[in-house]
Structure 1
Amino acid sequence: MEIRLSNEAIEWFRNEMEIENGDFIRFYARYGGSSPFHEGFSLGMNREQPHEMGVNVVVEDVHFYIEKSDEWFFNEHNLIVNVDNSLDELSYTYEK
């Protein structure tokens, strides 16, 4: 399992979340909404220090990660992070 981010997604994080070198961005399972794998859960994201990092990718000195305790949510799929230009929001897809 891996995390992949488009250049547009990195730029979105820089502009919208004002990320800086050395920051940690966590993707996590949150209660509410829906996902392709789990009704009642959706993908959340925030800036926080890791406790037990499971999957990690470093892009431009920023760590994007998933905690071990949240790996179940992705059902052994890669997380692809892009930007929906019509909404100017992040979009997520999952790839086996």
Structure 2
Amino acid sequence: MNIQLEPKALSWFKDEMDVSPGHFVRFYVRYGGSSPLHQGFSLGVNKEEPIDIGAKNESDGAVYFVEQNDLWFFDGHDLLVKYNEKLDEPEYEYVKHPS
């Protein structure tokens, strides 16, 4: 699994979550909401130290990651983090690995 962040999404994390070099940003599975992959589950985000990184992206000195025990959620998909200008928040796209 790969994690990609578009430049505007990186800017949002810096501005809104005060992410700077040395910080860790976790994408985690939460119960509730919905996603194109799993009804009843959605993706959350938080600044916190990793325990067991399953996938990561290092950008501008910060580490964006998913824990090993949350990889099931992505079900063969990569995570593309975009920025939704209309809602002024990150937007998640799940990109299927080529077969």
TM-score, structure 2 normalization: 0.95
Aligned mates of 2:76, 2:27 — CA distance in 1: 15
Question: Does 1:59 pair with 2:39?
Answer: no
1:73 shift after superposition: 0.4
Aligned mates of 1:68, 1:48 — CA distance in 2: 15
RMSD value, Cα: 0.5
Structure 2 letter corresponding to 1:56 = K
**Displaced runs of 4+ in structure 1, greater than 4 A?**
none
1:37 shift after superposition: 1.3
* Partner deviation per Cα, 1:4-50 (whole Å, 9 max, x = no partner): 00000000001000111110000011000011111110000100000
1:78 shift after superposition: 0.4
Segments of structure 2 that go 5 or more residues without pairing to the other structure are none
Aligned mates of 2:35, 2:85 — CA distance in 1: 21
TM-score, structure 1 normalization: 0.98
Kept in 1, the 8 Å contact 2:5–2:81? The answer is: yes
Kept in 1, the 8 Å contact 2:20–2:60? The answer is: no
